[in-house]
Amino acid sequence: MRKIVLCMLLTATSFIAAAQNSVRNWEKTAIVAGTNPIPVNGYSWFQTTTTTNNIASCAYNPVTDRLYVANRGIDIYIINPATGEQIGTLSKVGITQGTFGFQKVRVTSTGEIFAASLRTSTANGNTFVYYWANETANPVQLGNASTGITLNSERTGDSFAVTGSGQNVVMYFGGNPSIVAPATHSVQIVNKNGPGITDFVKVNNISLTANSARSGIAPVTTGITSDLWISGVTVAKRLITSTGVETKVVVSTRLGPSASDPSIPVGTYTPTTAGSISDKFSALEYFEIGAKKFLATTGANDNPFTGEGLILHIYDVTDVNAIKLIESTQLTNTYYANTNATADIAMKRVVNGNGSVAMTFFQLITNNGLASYTLNFAADGTLPVSLTSFTAGLSNGVSKLSWTTASESNNSGFDVQRSTDGVEFASIGFVASKAVQGNSSSVINYSYEDKTVPAGTQYYRLKQIDLNGDVEYSTIKVVNNVLNELAVKIYPNPAQNTLTLSTPLSLKGASYTVYNMVGQDFIKGKADELTNIDVSTLAPGIYFIKVISLQNEVQSLKFVKQ
C-alpha cells in the first residue's frame, strides 16, 4: 500500500529546504568546546572544532540494532538508533589504535565489526584493521605483514568498505595519496582466505583516476568481482568494475552559487541538473530495493557555505544514464567548516509485512552533527505519493479543494470523498493522476469543485489509489456551508410544473440555482419572499436548489421532479 506522506518544510539559518518524503527521527548537534552542561541534543565528544575532524564515521549493526560512531584515535561509541542516546563503547582491550585508529567502522550482516586506521604517509606504518566478533567481544588487531595484509606503500584508510561475512568477508581500502609520495591512486581489495581470524590477503589492486576513491567506496554486491561506486571530494562520482573499467562517470552540477549562475543567493538550495550528482559530496552508500538501485550521498568541504555541507541526498541510479534525485534533507544547525569533507552514512533496512521497505539513514557530518531519517519505499523500490498540501474552502456555495504532490509513484489518482459526520464518507468524484504513467518527481497541483455541497458542516478527504489498487487516505478538511437564516423552504416536493421557494425577509437579494446530482445548472434567478420557479421542462429525477445570500452563505435543498 502506498503511504501518503505529509512532507515537512525545514528551514535552517542560511538554507531553504525542499519538501521531503523522509521523516526526521532525531538529530544531535555538535557542541562548542567547553559547553556545560551538555545539551540533550549533543554529545560531550562531538564538538565543532575545525582542527581535528575526529568524528569520522558511523555504521549500523543489524544483529544488535545498534549504531556505532567512530571517534578516531579514541573510541567507538554505541548509540541507540531509535533515540540517538549513547549507551556504551566497544572494547579496546589488547590493541593500540594510534593517532588515526578507528578512521572508519563497518559491520557485516552477521554483526562482525571491522574498523580501519588511517595511514597518512609511508612513515606512518601499516594500515591496521581491528576486528570484533560481536559487540561484546574484545578486538583483534589485524593488518600488518605478519598477519597477511600487505597494502601498498601509500596513504590508505580515508575510505573503507566491507562486504560478506564469516569466511566470505571482503575489505576495500582507498585514500587520498596525492598529498604524499608516492602519488598512486588505487582501491586495494583484501579477501578472507582461511578459517582463522587473521587469515586475510590482498587479492586485487585497482588503479584509479586521481582521488576518485578518496572518500567513499560502495560495493554493488558481495565478492571480489563486485562493481564499485567510488567517491572523492571535487571528483565526479564513478561506477567501476573490479578491474577498474569506468562504466559511468556521473555528470557533476554543484548546488548553490556558481560561475554560470551567480544570481543564485549563497545558502539557497538549488536542485542539481537531471542526471547529475554534485562532485563536492564525499561519502556515499549503495542499496537496492526490488529492481531499483540507489545511492545516498552526503558531506562536503563547503566554504563558503552553499548548502551541500549539511545535505543528505538520495538518488535513483537504476538507469545510470538517467539518474534522478528523489530525496533531499539536511542537518538543521548553522554550518561549521568541515575542511576535510569528513562524513559518513549508515543504513538500517526494515521489511514490513506488506513487502514495503523502511530505510533509515544515519547522517554524520564532522563538526556539525548526527541525524536519523526514515524514508519509506514500496516493495518494488518506488516512493509513495507525497502530498505536500491539501486545502478546502467555500466560495459562492461551491466547496473548492486543492492539493499538491511533490512526488508520485504508480498513482492512479484521487477519489474525492465527502461526509456529514466525519466518519462515514462517500465518493463524489475522481481526479486522475497527471503524472506520466502515475510516476513523477516534480510538483503537481490538483483541484476539484464540489458544486453539490449540501447545507451544514461537510468533511472532505482524498483516497489516493495506486495502479495496483492499494489505497491511502489524506487528512480530513472541514467546510461549513450554513446560512444564518435556516428558514428556507420549498414546496410542493415532489414537484411537477412549479416549485415554490420561500425565503425570509433577511435574505432579500439572495440568488438561487437549480442543478442536478452531477452539478449541472438548469435554472437561475433572484429570490423573493415567495418565488415560483417553472420546473416543467426538467426531466424527471432528483434535483437540488441552492440559495446564496449576499454574504455568500449557502443552503441547499433536495427535491424530486415528477
Q: What is the pLDDT of residues 45-56, one digit of tens each?
A: 999 986 678 899
**In terms of domains, do 476 and 449 share one?**
yes
**In terms of domains, do 496 and 457 share one?**
no
Higher pLDDT, 196 or 322: 322
C-alpha cell at 439: 510516476
Establish if 292 belongs to a structural domain: no
Distance CA 300, CA 235 (A): 11
**Of 10-14, 188-192, 225-229, 435-439, minimum mean pLDDT range:** 10-14
**In terms of domains, do 449 and 390 share one?**
yes
Question: What pLDDT is recorded for position 123?
Answer: 53
pLDDT tens profile 309-353: 999 999 999 999 999 888 888 899 988 989 889 999 999 999 998
Predicted confidence (pLDDT) at residue 307 exceeds the cutoff of 90: no
CB 98 within 8 A of CB 73: yes
Establish if 414 belongs to a structural domain: yes
Distance CA 202, CA 65 (A): 31
**In terms of domains, do 398 and 466 share one?**
yes
**In terms of domains, do 462 and 494 share one?**
no
Establish if 396 belongs to a structural domain: yes
Distance CA 505, CA 534 (A): 22
**In terms of domains, do 390 and 477 share one?**
yes
Compute CA distances 167 → 110, 114, 172, 223, 554, whole Å.
Answer: 12, 14, 16, 11, 76
Average pLDDT over the chain reads 84
**In terms of domains, do 440 and 495 share one?**
no
CB 38 within 8 A of CB 31: yes
Boundary of a domain, candidates 481, 497, 531: 481
**In terms of domains, do 452 and 475 share one?**
yes
**In terms of domains, do 494 and 467 share one?**
no
**In terms of domains, do 394 and 462 share one?**
yes
Predicted confidence (pLDDT) at residue 143 exceeds the cutoff of 90: no
Establish if 284 belongs to a structural domain: no
**In terms of domains, do 452 and 408 share one?**
yes
Boundary of a domain, candidates 481, 499, 533: 481
User: What CATH number is given to the structural domain containing 441?
Assistant: 2.60.40.10
**Of 118-127, 150-159, 369-378, minimum mean pLDDT range:** 118-127
**In terms of domains, do 513 and 472 share one?**
no
Domain count for the chain: 2
Establish if 400 belongs to a structural domain: yes
Boundary of a domain, candidates 463, 481, 499: 481
Distance of CA 264 to the CA centre of its chain: 24
Establish if 279 belongs to a structural domain: no
Mean pLDDT over 141-169 rounds to 80
Dihedral sign for Cα 450, 453, 456, 461, please: negative
How many CA atoms lie within 13 Å of 209's alpha carbon, on the beta-carbon side?
17
- Domain limits at 550? 489-561
Distance CA 285, CA 555 (A): 59
Question: What pLDDT is recorded for position 18?
Answer: 35
pLDDT tens profile 488-519: 889 899 999 999 988 877 677 788 999 988 88
The answer for residues whose C-beta is within 8 angstroms of residue 37's C-beta and 6 or more apart is none
pLDDT band, very low/low/confident/very high, at 11 (cuts 50, 70, 90): very low
* DSSP strands (E only) in 175-310: 186-192, 200-207, 216-219, 228-232, 235-240, 246-249, 283-289, 292-298
Question: What pLDDT is recorded for position 20?
Answer: 54
Predicted confidence (pLDDT) at residue 266 exceeds the cutoff of 70: no
Question: What pLDDT is recorded for position 10?
Answer: 27
Smallest CA-to-CA distance from 513 within 470, 482, 545, 541 is with 545
Establish if 552 belongs to a structural domain: yes
Establish if 477 belongs to a structural domain: yes
